[in-house]
Every structure is written in C-alpha cells, then in structure tokens.
A and B are shown apart, each in its own frame.
Chain A
C-alpha cells in the first residue's frame, strides 16, 4: 500500500484527520469503560484472599501499564522529532506528557489505596513504588523543562533529550519485581498462562482497552490545540471552519 505517511506528518493535514478520529475513539472508550466496570463489579467473583479489595486491580493495573507505555511512546515521538526534525512528532510528545503524568499519579494513588488494606501501609520505599514515583517526576520534569524554554523548537530538543534518557526507568519499573525483593507482587499474567479467573481477565482486558482509547482521545484532543498554538502564524489556521464567526 502506498500511503504517503509524510503527508500525515504535516500538522495541517493531521489536524483535520485527528478531528475526524476523536469521536470514534471517545465513543468506543466510553462503551468499553461501561462494559469493563460491569464485568469487574458484577461478573468477576469475590477473591478468596483479598475479598472485594482486589477490584482495585481493574483500574490500578491498566493505568500502571499505560503510565509506562505512554512514556515509551512519548520518548519515541521525541526521538523522531530530534532525528527527523518533524514538528508534529514533538507536538505529540508534548501532548502525551500530561496524560502520562496523570496516569502515573493514578497508579500511585490506587496503589496506595490497595496497599493500605493488604500490606498495612499506604507507601513503602520499595523498588516498584519508588521507580513509579520517579516516572511521575520524569513526566513533570519533561513538562516543566518544555515550558521553561521560550523558543519552542529548542524546548522540543531539550525535553526530547530528557525523555529519551529517562526511558531507562521504564524497564527498571517493569523488572523491579524480579530484580529486587519487593513487597509488590510479581506479574500474575505471564506468557506461559495465568491462574486468574477468566471473568477477572476479561474485565482487566476491557478496562485496559478503555483506558488506552481514553489516552488516544486525550492525546489527539490536546495535540489539536498545540497545533493551533504553534502554527498560529500560518494561513491555513486562519482558514479553518472553527475560525468562521
């Protein structure tokens, strides 16, 4: 298939394409959230060891996985922007950072609320928890660094460097439960199979997809504003239908 990908890397083309895609991502995310919560609260059985407290898993696991995944995608876009000097890549990286920070925060928050009844502590300085906290600081550092440099192209390059260097933290979070003795449990779902109840697996998967589509929706919504902010001196921006009185 001969799709000209560079055509879509032009902010003016992507602006319109993103606008068309947003309603689909938003609607499917909302539907999957409803389905996922239904499965998680009304179909999945009570856990033998953790009683009802384990239901925190259906939000904690998706936001935690995505907080790492968003970081890698953000660092990937930042790297593309640095190598090919494409404006849109840097804009996508900036667009993903706030959502990533919120997901890292939610991972820590839901983790604390799960840790308290199960471990007896809201927080422990454990490898998994500490490296996730560092991830939150990396997101905040990326946002702050980008905001502190006036020239947007220079801001893109500086924050891209931070994003790329910071990505070494992601495998550290992921493998922390294997590399160190941690209070945090290891992976329950492995390539070799899982001992988890099938309804629990389904709700986890559906909630993960719902959160993923939410992230895409937010990233596309935010990048449209970023495009307008940064391309404001271009004629095509002034000719948009939303500019009509």
Chain B
C-alpha cells in the first residue's frame, strides 16, 4: 500500500470576480496503490469538481488551488500545462458516466484505445492496434481481433464502458479516476463493470478514485469512503467503519434513506430539504439547515474534521467535537 497521489487543501472557486464562491474547500484526497477510494456525494457536493481538480481539468470559470498536489515525486501543481498533458491519459486516466459521449462515433474502437499509446508512447499504428486487441481481451470483450474494428454504435453500453476502461488502462497508469462509471448502466452490467474495476485495481496495483452518488456501489468495491456534502468532506474512513458506524448526521441520513431490497422500511427515513441550493450557504456547517441535531454553533462556524476512531474522521460539532474546542480553526 503505497501513497501514489497526495492532494491536500483542495479548493475550487467559481463565479464572477466580485462574488467568487467556493464549491470545493479544504478537501484532501489520498490514493494508495491497489486500493479504491470512493468519493460519495449528492448534487452539488463538489465530488466531480474535486476529481477534475486533481487532473487540473476544471471547466472554464473555475479555478483550483491546493496546498499539496503530488503524484509520486512529481508536483502536479507546479507543472506547466504542456507537462500535465503528458501525465493525463498516461499516468492518470479518467473514465466517465456516459461512455457513448466519451467515445468518438466515427473512429473504430481500436483506434480510440490505441490513441494514448500513439500519443504518449509514440507507438506505430500496427503495434498500437495489436496492443488495443490485447487490452480489449483483458477487459473481457470476446473476439478482440474482430471487435477492435467495430464502432461505438455497434456496441452495448456495458461494452462501451469496457472500451473506455481499456483505453484508460492502455498506458498502464498509476491512477484511474472513475466518475460515475456505472450510473448509465443496468444493474447486471453494473455488477460486471464493478468487478472488472476491482480486479484490475488489484492486478495492476492501480490507485482508483471512484466518484459516485451511490453508497451501495461504494460499499461494494471501495476500500475507503469519503462522504462529501456542500463542497467539503463530512466524513471519511475505511468503508466498513464509515458504513458500519457512521458518525456524521448526513452519512447516517443518507444510509437511512437508501431503500433496501432486503426489507420494507416504509416510511423511509428521508432527510428533509434538498442538497440542491447548498451552494447558497457560505458559512457554518452546510448540512445544518437539513440537520435534526443542529445547534447554534453549526450555522455560524464550520466544524473541523476530527478523528472519532483511528483512521475515521467526521466534521460535526455535535457528534465529533474537537478535543480542544477553543483551538478549533475558524472556518473561512
């Protein structure tokens, strides 16, 4: 278990210069080889912005800052744009929710899988296509020599996502960022793709960041979970600790509101209100307006992340009070 990516103090700001708002603040992401870390959150939690900021791929108008952004011994934050382009797709790869949108409709599957090889490894066309077929076989696509010549529209959604995974793994990256990779897929296909991601993580010693809104997906394959709400991490730890003994009221509320196929729970214990519009709250604990346990302090000052058990942290004045409240850092 080697620390591959270390990102600390991540901050993403959006909006016009006179009213910049932060959509991500005080977030750290630590990725270890052979492990899957899930970034779990709902609308507006900042999970996708966090993932994009690691690759310095934020959309126009958004600016990212960090106190530390290191890939092994490379300082990503200090790299010029041309240099970071050499990292993307070779040492850090990314796959997205909608495989059809991420694939070029007029290029064959083989061409797209081999693109990173030609770009980063200067491989010639024939070798790259041969390698593409090998990669297709590795991600479980039958008859790779035939399928390598097919086009995205000829494939099912699950196969398209396998193709994207093959392309992402082409240059043998250290890190795979998967943003809602199974959200557009049927459950049986989702299970196959998750199994594939898990298997490749272990086989290659990949460090994976899985961005998802689905706690069940995270609980299925992630080693660690970071729960995000309103732009920051509210709870994180090993999957079994966070799901088995959730500390933060939001994590608990989220777990309670997931309908389970095992038994009937109606009425479900829903969290009142909506995560949409959370960006309008710019101070205190962002979850406070929806929280049944909120005290006066919650609306005024954002609590710090406090260790509640070894390796298990939570950001809550009520359930995870700092050991020394007076020295708690003031929220910005």
Q: Do A and B come from one complex?
A: no
